[in-house]
Amino acid sequence: MGRYTGPVEKLSRREGVELFLKGERALNGKSALERRGDNPPGQHGANRRRKQSVYYTQLRAKQTAKRYYGVREKQFRIYVDKANRAQGVTGEELLRLLERRLDNVVYRLGFAGTRAQARQFVNHGHVLVDGKKVDIASYLVSPGESIKVKDKVRETASQATELTGSVAGWLQTDFDALEGKVLRLPERMDINAPVNEQLIVELYSRV
């Protein structure tokens, strides 16, 4: 199954939370979720709210996480399996893996307006890790590594930095140089994501 290419703001409305898939529009309060509310998209969206079973709530939690981080089902399941094998709390380990994705880190550093744009930077070879080109969006960064965006996309990346507020505590960034560093692995308190990881763990434990 290919990557979703339809109107991304519909995904936020579908999940009822802001997924920040539209970058500047979301930050400026102009997203479809703000303008039209959290009813599901479609002509009869407001009438489609149904009683939510436990399974339905768990499923929506998973879909929210997948859409927030831009990950497909097969890859998401791999992350869940890795989190299950880790020694820490499974849900927190899952979020830690998702946060360490290179496309997410480029976004978290403020070098891209959306994760989709960050993924494009990576896929097109515009991102360096410790001075070497890495064009795999799912590459997991490690503490001590430096991430730099090439000058070729400086103008676009600089526009994103202007919209960036504070950077997560596990990262360090130099907006002028368009370079950042991974200081440590993220803790749960560092991760500002509209995701209920426990519901996801419960969902996959049913399989």
pLDDT in tens, 192-203: 999 999 999 999
pLDDT number for residue 7: 61
| pLDDT exceeds 80 at position 84 | yes
Lowest mean pLDDT among 73-82, 158-167, 174-183: 158-167
| Of 18 and 121, the one with more pLDDT | 121
| pLDDT exceeds 70 at position 33 | no
Mean pLDDT of the chain: 86
Greatest mean pLDDT among 10-14, 49-53, 161-165: 161-165
pLDDT number for residue 38: 57
Q: Identify which of 172, 113, 163 has the alpha carbon closest to the alpha carbon of residue 145.
A: 172
Span 111-156, pLDDT tens digits:
999 999 999 999 999 999 999 999 999 999 999 999 999 999 999 9
Residue 205's contacts (CB-CB under 8 Å, 6 or more residues apart) are none
What's the start-to-end Cα distance of the chain, in Å?
21
Mean pLDDT value across residues 4-20: 61
Cα separation, 55 vs 36, in Å, equals 27
Mean pLDDT value across residues 36-56: 67
> Hey, what amino acid is at 41?
P
Q: In what order do the strands lie in the sheet with 171-174?
A: 132-133, 127-129, 146-149, 179-182, 171-174
pLDDT number for residue 9: 60
- 97 band by pLDDT with thresholds 50, 70 and 90: very high
